Structure 1
Amino acid sequence: MSYCKGLVADIDGTLTLSRSVYELSLEALAALRRAKNSGLKVALATANGLDYALALSRYLGIDSVIAENGCIIYYDGKTYRLCKEIDKQKVIETALSTGLVKESEQNRCREFDLAFYPVSEPGLAVESLKSLLGEKYAVEYSGYAIHVRPRGVDKGVGLAFICRLWGIPCNLVAVVGDSEVDVPMLKLGWGIAVGNADDRAKEAARLTVEESSGLGFAEAVDLILRGIACID
């Protein structure tokens, strides 16, 4: 019997076959179904734009989404915006001026968190963008893209908001993730890192499973349903 009341799953690198592809793991999808059927509240948490996240959540039968790294929350047909408006065009022009990134096709439908693909060393691009954009913006690399958003909101803030909507303490919500952008929600909830997660995610989590990405998520769900998670 699970001690957890909710489950929040990152998408890229957690529900996918690996941290370098977008194809979803069938084992992960089956695990999501098991979690839902057990009575757990389930949400997706992603750096992706809301349109992308809602398309996936619709076909999974999930009504709770944390999108744009916490900037936008969707729950039970309602959308909540937690971030302040930004000058999208200025941020995009500044980022592209470095010559170190390419713009994500998602930016046309993003509101707050803008995504860019590094063309060489991601760390160099991140540091360059931090220097140019200043303290007003958070700049992070997810393993898929570099994300720029207003500072002060992250997946942890999004998780706290979802927990309030659900009426569930965050320590009773299992969170599964793989990357640096998942760290705030891994710390706030009962964090589980997949086996191939980056070091910061593993350090933030209470537990790291052996399997990687989608298979690791399925392993995590099995542990949750066996009562291993959401306990001190």
Structure 2
Amino acid sequence: MKCKALVADIDGTLTLSRDTYELSLEALAALRRLRNLGVRVALATANGLDYALSIARYLGVNAVIAENGCIVALEGEIHELCVAFPRQEVVDVVLSTGLVRESEQNRCRKYDLAFYPVADPAAALSAIRSRLGNSYRVEYSGYAIHVRPQGVDKGTGLAFLCRAWGLPCSLVAVVGDSEVDAPMLRLGWGIAVGNADEEAKNAARITVEGPSGLGFAEAVDIIIDGIACSD
């Protein structure tokens, strides 16, 4: 086994599919296999920090990238990588499109705001991007549309973790499924699950056959077999 660490997305990667929040038992068993082998594990998610830390606690993980890279929690310390912005103004602009509803998570999110499309996600993305201009990054995770200040993404969070761990990112396996995962899939040794977005597949080194949680279990086999982090 050549990889020294693993960073895993949660929604669509550790779940049964890309349209549920229920965790895959196969993915959880695979995650435990890696941890038992001494591999460092972190979660990287679009979710708010409180949600991410709650999940990490029950998985035995002590490193989290939350809010799409804006916040990193590592061994009890919180590191904020995004800059402050006029939250309510942004919320008002986004809701004025009439194409989304605000996520209940926003009350505990600091930098990355989430909105659920009520119609076509592509139309909502286009309208929000048009109204906000170039100051904000607007992406669709397959679960929600995310809006945050430009310049930070999951790749930013991964780079921070690699420095903190003292590891080259080429020795960190990364597994994900959506366009918000693409920056960290490029930076680390990226593995896309079988039902991932094309952006994620194009950013990854390889794409496994299995979808979501089954694909994650397949990715862990690749890591343990020494195929990942091999170049």
TM-score band, normalised by the shorter chain? over 0.9
- Superposition deviation, residue 88 in structure 1: 1.1
Q: Distance in 2 between matches of 1:17 and 1:173?
A: 24
2:33 matched to which residue of 1?
34
Matched, 1:217 2:216: yes
2:109 matched to which residue of 1?
110
Equivalent residues in 2 for 1:1-232, closer than 5 Å: 2-232=1-231
Q: Distance in 1 between matches of 2:21 and 2:85?
A: 28
Q: Distance in 2 between matches of 1:124 and 1:164?
A: 38
SS state at 1:18 partner:
coil
AA aligned opposite 1:129: I
Q: Unaligned 5+ residue runs, structure 2?
A: none
- Superposition deviation, residue 64 in structure 1: 0.3
Deviations 1:29-57 (A, max 9, x none): 11110111111110000000000000000
Superposition CA RMSD, Å: 0.5
Q: Distance in 2 between matches of 1:167 and 1:58?
A: 23
- Superposition deviation, residue 134 in structure 1: 1.1
Comparing 7-16 and 31-40, the one that deviates more: 31-40
Q: Distance in 2 between matches of 1:17 and 1:86?
A: 35
Deviations 1:180-200 (A, max 9, x none): 000000000000000000111
AA aligned opposite 2:225: R
SS state at 2:7 partner:
strand
Q: Distance in 2 between matches of 1:167 and 1:231?
A: 18
Q: Distance in 2 between matches of 1:120 and 1:177?
A: 25
SS state at 1:147 partner:
strand
Q: Distance in 1 between matches of 2:51 and 2:213?
A: 19
SS state at 1:182 partner:
helix
Q: Which of structure 1's runs of 4+ aligned residues deviate more than 6 A?
A: none
Q: TM-score, normalised by structure 1?
A: 0.99
AA aligned opposite 2:47: N
AA aligned opposite 2:204: A
SS state at 2:190 partner:
strand
Q: TM-score, normalised by structure 2?
A: 0.99
Q: Number of matched residues? A: 231
The percent identity for this pair of structures is 71
SS state at 1:20 partner:
coil
SS state at 1:228 partner:
coil
Q: Unaligned 5+ residue runs, structure 1?
A: none
AA aligned opposite 1:216: G
Deviations 1:189-226 (A, max 9, x none): 00000000011111110010010000000000011001
